[in-house]
């Protein structure tokens, strides 16, 4: 199982690759403890982007829209949203291979956001955020063979 930091780094790289292919300039803020993962230059303005890893569950790409602070000393604020700190979420979902760019104003800030991939079972369309409306590109991933452990052996 991959370390959460590695999972997040792969998602950020996937987002950067798609944005680069679309011709956007991206900037990486300095430091690990910023609320912004990337700054996107669309030629008119700079957008603050928080990258997330999406998981395909029950026909929707699901992703966290708050940070967990349960491990911090102040238990009254176990979750912290991104209101006023970012302009959009960029979500990479390894299950679909797609990258989605979602303005924060389009997300109901609970603990989790969702972008519908499959139609809902009851046919509801009103109030549903469809993944296709936010998809900006796809990333093809291939797994490189793992390096063998230890030094090569001689045949002598």
Decide if 30 contacts 54 (C-beta within 8 A). no
CATH number at residue 53: 3.40.1350.10
117 CB contacts (<8 Å, ≥6 apart)?
Answer: 56, 59, 60, 61, 96, 130, 131
Is 91 a member of any domain?
yes
151, part of any domain: no
pLDDT in 10s for each residue of the chain, 156 residues: 788 888 989 999 999 999 999 999 999 999 877 889 999 999 999 999 999 999 999 999 999 888 765 555 665 665 778 888 999 999 999 999 999 999 998 887 667 889 999 876 666 667 678 999 999 999 987 665 555 445 554 444
Tell me the residue range of the domain where 30 lies. 4-138
Residue 127 belongs to some domain of the structure = yes
The reported pTM is: 0.81
Q: Is residue 11 part of a domain?
A: yes
| The total number of structural domains that make up the chain | 1
Please check whether residue 63 lies inside any domain of the structure: yes
In a domain, residue 154? The reply is: no
How far apart (Å, rounded) are the C-alpha atoms in residues 112 and 65?
5
Buried b (16+ CB within 10 A) or exposed e, 78-90: eeeebeeebbbbb
Whether 149 is covered by a domain: the verdict is no
């Amino acid at each position: 199982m991959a370390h959460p930091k590695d999972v997040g780094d792969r998602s950020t790289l996937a987002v950067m690759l798609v944005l680069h292919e679309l011709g956007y300039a991206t900037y990486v803020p300095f430091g690990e403890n910023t609320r912004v993962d990337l700054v996107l230059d669309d030629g008119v303005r700079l957008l603050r982007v928080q990258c997330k890893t999406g998981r395909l569950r029950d026909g929707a790409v699901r992703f966290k829209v708050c940070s967990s602070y349960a491990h911090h000393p102040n238990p009254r604020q176990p979750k912290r949203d991104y209101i006023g700190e970012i302009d959009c979420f960029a979500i990479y979902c390894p299950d679909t291979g797609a990258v989605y760019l979602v303005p924060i104003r389009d997300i109901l800030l609970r603990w989790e956001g969702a972008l519908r991939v499959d139609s809902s079972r009851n046919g509801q369309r009103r109030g549903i955020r469809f993944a296709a409306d936010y998809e900006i590109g796809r990333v093809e991933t291939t797994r490189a063979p793992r390096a063998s452990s230890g030094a090569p052996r001689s045949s002598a």
